[in-house]
Amino acid sequence: MLSSNQLSGALEEIPAPWSSSLSSIWLDHNDLTGAIPKSFFHLNHLKDLYLGSNRLAGTITLSSFWRLKSLSSLSLSYNMLSIVDEEDDTILTSLPNVNYLELASCNLTKIPRALRYLGGVISLDLSNNQINGVIPSWVWESWKDQLKFLNLSHNMFTSLEKSPSLLHMPYLSILDLSFNRIQGNIPIPVTLYFSPIFVTYNEVLLDYSNNNFSSILDKFGKYVQNVTYLKLSKNKLTGHVSSSICSASKLTILDLSYNNFSGSIPSCLIGSGNLKILKLRENQFEGMLPEDIREGCTFKTIDLNGNQIEGNLPRSLLNCQDLELFDVGNNQIVGSFPSWLGALPQLRVLVLRSNQLNGTIWDIKADRTINKYFSTLQILDLASNNFSGNVPKGWFNELNAMMENVNDEGQVVGQQTNLPNGFYQDTVTVTFKDLKLIFTKILTTFKVIDFSHNSFDGSIPESIGRLASLHGLNMSYNNFTGQIPSQFSNLSQLESLDLSRNHITGEIPHELTSLTSLGCLDLSYNNLSGRIPQGNQFSTFSDNSFEGNADLCGVPLSKECESQNSVSPSEVAPPEYESLWQDKLGVILLFAFVGLGFGVGFALAFLLRMYCGMEGWVSKQS
């Protein structure tokens, strides 16, 4: 086996002495190029051919492989191949007994005709092609007694033949129909309930997300008792979630987000069973969260953003000691700031924005019951509530994870599964300058604080300057007074700073020019005075960053400063600096979209181009 060995170059023809006995070729996950050698199609004893995840190219007729009568496993996925389904009826009478067939990303425009006549298919992957139309019923009828893995995702299917509500596939363990255009009923593999003895895999995974499904069986829960992963997000499902979902006691991941479900959330879903990830965001769920979340709660993620949940947050959430992401933004939650959530030892993301929370954020040292509070927090969003009063100076001293100056790419927050990509990724919505960005990966190095649109007052705490790994800070639309802390110059990774619409006074600290990662700055509509510092990033900001401060002067504002405050040569950016920053932005954007899905500054680099109004390279868009 030579899989995953960084092999490169073109494949050579196989010498005749080897061709008579060779039974397996494992060359997948390398960097091989060129065409598949013709000698491969004459290996009469070949059983396993794995060439997936290379850069092989060319157009191949599928019937070329059907001549290999001993073939049982064929993987051609994720190359640059184009597979042609040749209309050759003569070949259909003597097909090999192929058990494993992987043709993902092979430029298919239809399901190959010969597949209907393959008798022993256990695993079929036709994902990431351009297949459209109806999924024929023979797909689940011909192989119902052996099929375990079926992936038809990322195509253009529009419906299932006969629109079945139940699929009789007793051995099925993974069904992925996501990212199509399928309408009608969601088909449930019925025998996962009636014949659980047949299920041999540790996980049963069903993914119907990103389609146009509009209905599901009322009692669907009883048919998914053995399912561990169920994703129905981004469809057109409506109505109440049946209490039969409580029968699905093995569920660890449930995603019903971006539908139009209504009514109350079944109480069994909150803190009972084995659920680790619960995503119900952007529906119409209402009512209060249950008060009796049991001890030993297994949640890692609770995402209820964008519903109509009301009432206070239950303190029994403290029983969820593994909770990493808690998002109840855009609901109707009331009460004071839940400082007690700081006792959760794994909490990384806390989103409470756009609720009806009020009162002050008291100094957590006054309520000390454990040694650390919010020590792992990396995203804190309290925006658009009714919080008021001073922010305690010592509060930010507890945010240990934001003090760590980490330069690597970090780890992604999520849950390991047996999905084709092996990983379920959490998402979070971060809002900058009225632009909502939904991130499907959350790096442990990405740190953001948003206190905007509240009624906080008093001075901005200097202790924020200790958060060395902070990337975004938004304290706009409050009643903060005093000066901008010069300690902000210690925020070496800061990319976005918004202090607009407050009552901040004094001069802009010249030390802020040392923030070479700062790409978005908004200090507008305060009571700032004096000369705007120049140098580094400050030489790129437009007048929008400083407008509404009557006593500010200097570039980029039209108001000139008095002559005695002339700019020293060392404060003036070199003429070529702007073009250098444009080049830097290109590198950031490249890194953002070809790395792990984004780099540390993935989002901010994107929104800088969209919204920060930097002179010379940013055009504001609505």
pLDDT tens profile 257-296: 999 999 999 988 986 678 999 999 999 999 999 888 988 8
**Dist. CA 86–CA 298, nearest whole Å:** 51
pLDDT at 605 over 90: no
pLDDT-derived band at 14 (thresholds 50, 70, 90) equals: confident
Q: CB within 8 A of 463, min separation 6: which ones?
A: 393, 394, 395, 396, 397, 487
Q: Please answer whether residues 412 and 423 qualify as being in contact, where contact means their C-beta atoms are separated by less than 8 angstroms.
A: yes
Extended strands (E) in 68-186: 73-75, 80-84, 100-102, 123-125, 132-135, 149-151, 156-160, 166-167, 174-176, 183-185
**Dist. CA 572–CA 534, nearest whole Å:** 6
What pLDDT is recorded for position 89? 72
Q: Please answer whether residues 508 and 533 qualify as being in contact, where contact means their C-beta atoms are separated by less than 8 angstroms.
A: yes
Q: Please answer whether residues 131 and 108 qualify as being in contact, where contact means their C-beta atoms are separated by less than 8 angstroms.
A: yes
> No. of H helices and E strands in the chain?
6, 45
Residue 430 token pair:
């971060």
What pLDDT is recorded for position 426? 67
pLDDT at 572 over 60: no
Which residues face 480 on adjacent strands?
458
pLDDT at 584 over 50: no
Return the CA Rg of the chain.
29
Mean pLDDT of the chain: 84
What pLDDT is recorded for position 437? 58
Q: Please answer whether residues 158 and 177 qualify as being in contact, where contact means their C-beta atoms are separated by less than 8 angstroms.
A: no
Q: Please answer whether residues 293 and 269 qualify as being in contact, where contact means their C-beta atoms are separated by less than 8 angstroms.
A: no
Residue 52 token pair:
């997936």
**Dist. CA 609–CA 310, nearest whole Å:** 37
What is the pLDDT averaged over residues 68-92?
89
What pLDDT is recorded for position 273? 76
Residue 417 token pair:
């599964």
**Dist. CA 388–CA 455, nearest whole Å:** 5
What pLDDT is recorded for position 442? 54
**Dist. CA 502–CA 457, nearest whole Å:** 9
What is the pLDDT averaged over residues 70-97?
88
What pLDDT is recorded for position 427? 67
pLDDT at 59 over 80: yes
What pLDDT is recorded for position 595? 33
**Structure confidence by residue, pLDDT tens digits, 306-349:** 999 999 999 999 999 999 999 999 999 999 999 999 999 999 99
**Dist. CA 577–CA 131, nearest whole Å:** 49
Residue 108 token pair:
């298919």
What pLDDT is recorded for position 258? 98
pLDDT-derived band at 15 (thresholds 50, 70, 90) equals: confident
What is the pLDDT averaged over residues 110-116?
92
